[in-house]
Amino acid sequence: MALTCNQYVWKKQIYFIKWQAISKCKSRRKIGNRHIIIAVDGPAASGKSTTARRVAQQLGYTYIDTGAMYRAVTFKALQDGVLDRLRHSPELVGGLLDALTISFDGDRVLLDGRDVSLEIRDNRVSREVSFISSLKPVRDRLREMQQELGHERGVVMDGRDIGTVVFPDAELKIFLVADPAERAKRRYAELSAKASSSSELPDIKQLEEEIIRRDREDAEREHAPLKKHPDAVEIDTSRLTIDRQVEMVYTLAKERERG
Ligand code: CDP
């Protein structure tokens, strides 16, 4: 089937990211191990990315932050000033998707070749990302990229729909949860570490309300809502240290690697 120019660029982009991810992962693989897919899902600020990143490091796997991909598309919509237009005419999002490229360079997220790792964590992006990620064309495009990235296995991928939609056959599915107040505290600490003055920081109560609102929007959307897969192992991290939650996921991963 002939590809349009935009489809061609998109395919090339997928193969480039896949090549980067696979070459990194292969160089660390130990011969004789069965490499699995680990899906880490859960609500906002439940510790998914820290846990997933550290488990991937310990296993020599590739870590893929799918939230960063949705955040990058949202950042692009804000940057181009098209967010309000998309609310009225969501079908226009195809044009935005065709005009952007997302790639990873280690932990850095590149949008159209520029490092946007810090900007995509901005509260402005956090407030709008649930809307952008509810749009079907966005989900279809990013799901295709994520499936390509995990095709060779040996990946830890975190998000909202990895165990339910992107990789329902993942050998290990984790669902992390935590009290909203605890999650707001963690997100506040994360933002404080990055802020240059306290005036840039949101009120902690407001942060908690935003997290609850985002969870509700993610769970109630029509396409690929935030949901626990029946086979997923649920871990409540409210009273766990990060070391303990990493150890729990790592132990489960080693068991599943043995088959
Ligand atoms: O870091 P945090 O838990 O706050 O969120 P994130 O993982 O960066 O994801 C940001 C947003 O992207 C979520 O609130 C979802 O709306 C969306 N997302 C999604 O819809 N599906 C995914 N697989 C990952 C993220």
pLDDT digit of tens for each residue in the chain (259 aa)?
455 555 555 655 655 555 454 444 444 444 567 999 999 999 999 999 999 999 999 999 999 999 999 999 999 999 999 999 999 999 999 999 999 999 999 889 999 999 999 999 988 999 999 999 999 999 999 999 999 999 999 999 999 999 999 999 999 999 999 999 999 999 999 888 888 777 778 899 999 999 999 999 999 999 999 999 999 999 999 999 999 999 999 999 999 999 8
- The CB of 161 under 6 Å from ligand 1? The reply is yes
pLDDT reported for residue 166: 98
pLDDT reported for residue 255: 96
Please identify, by atom number, the ligand 1 atom nearest to the C-alpha of residue 68.
Answer: 8
| CA–CA separation, 92 and 132 (whole Å) | 12
| CA–CA separation, 57 and 62 (whole Å) | 8
- The CB of 167 under 6 Å from ligand 1? The reply is no
Residue 168: what are its φ and ψ, rounded to 5°? Answer: -65, -15
- The residue contributing the CA closest to ligand 1 atom 23 is 159
| CA–CA separation, 37 and 140 (whole Å) | 20
| CA–CA separation, 188 and 206 (whole Å) | 10
- The residue contributing the CA closest to ligand 1 atom 7 is 67
For the chain, which residues make up each domain, given as ranges?
18-23+34-258
The top-level CATH class assigned to 18-23+34-258 is alpha beta
- The CB of 226 under 6 Å from ligand 1? The reply is no
Which tens digit of pLDDT belongs to each residue from 79-130? 999 999 999 999 999 999 999 999 999 889 999 999 999 999 988 999 999 9
pLDDT reported for residue 67: 98
pLDDT reported for residue 139: 98
| CA–CA separation, 152 and 188 (whole Å) | 36
Is residue 82 within 8 A of residue 96, CB to CB? The reply is yes
pLDDT reported for residue 12: 56
To test the pocket of ligand 1, the residue of 132, 218, 226, 227 to mutate (highest count of ligand atoms within 8 Å of its CB) is 218
Residue 115: what are its φ and ψ, rounded to 5°? Answer: -70, 115
How far, in Å, from the CA of 159 to the mean position of ligand 1? 6
3-state secondary structure of 39: strand
Residue 219: what are its φ and ψ, rounded to 5°? Answer: -80, -25
Residue that is written with structure tokens 């880490």 in the block: 40
- The CB of 70 under 6 Å from ligand 1? The reply is yes
